[in-house]
Amino acid sequence: MPYFQIDAQSIYYGLHEPKFHLLNFVDENGSEKLNAEVAREYAGLIDCRDLPLTPRATEIFGTDKPFTVLLRPDNYIGFITAEDTAATLKNYFDNVIGRSSQRGASSSAN
């Protein structure tokens, strides 16, 4: 993940926990619904944060449209998407690291 600042703080501020971090670069609309879904499906595994889509973020990532970055626990980028984040996240966990969501894992155990 490239270093830059948002509101005079390092992008890494608050990313110290050894877990995945879902960073939603958003305009004024935010992503409360997505954050609630992620909290329900991936409790304890993913930390969600809404960050402002600043000119610096636009410059670094090459888009002025809202997008999401999934950081792995080592702060390397797992994926970047401007599409359906929930579907991309499910695909990432199912196919890339071989782990289903909490709900999917519990229902398959029954």
Torsion of CA 8, 84, 74, 95, to 10 degrees: 180
* 78, part of any domain: yes
Identify the CA nearest to 49 among candidates 71, 82, 73, 65: 71
Higher pLDDT among residues 63 and 100, named by residue: 63
CA-atom Rg of the chain in angstroms: 14
* 106, part of any domain: no
pLDDT in tens, 21-55: 999 999 877 788 888 999 898 888 999 999 999 99
* 37, part of any domain: yes
Residues in a beta bridge with 50: 24
Show the domain range for 20: 5-100
What's the confidence (pLDDT) of residue 100?
57
* 75, part of any domain: yes
Please give the model's pTM, rounded to 2 decimal places: 0.82
Here the CATH number for the domain that contains residue 14 is 3.40.30.10
Domain count, the chain: 1
* 108, part of any domain: no
pLDDT in tens, 72-104: 999 899 999 999 899 999 999 888 877 655 444
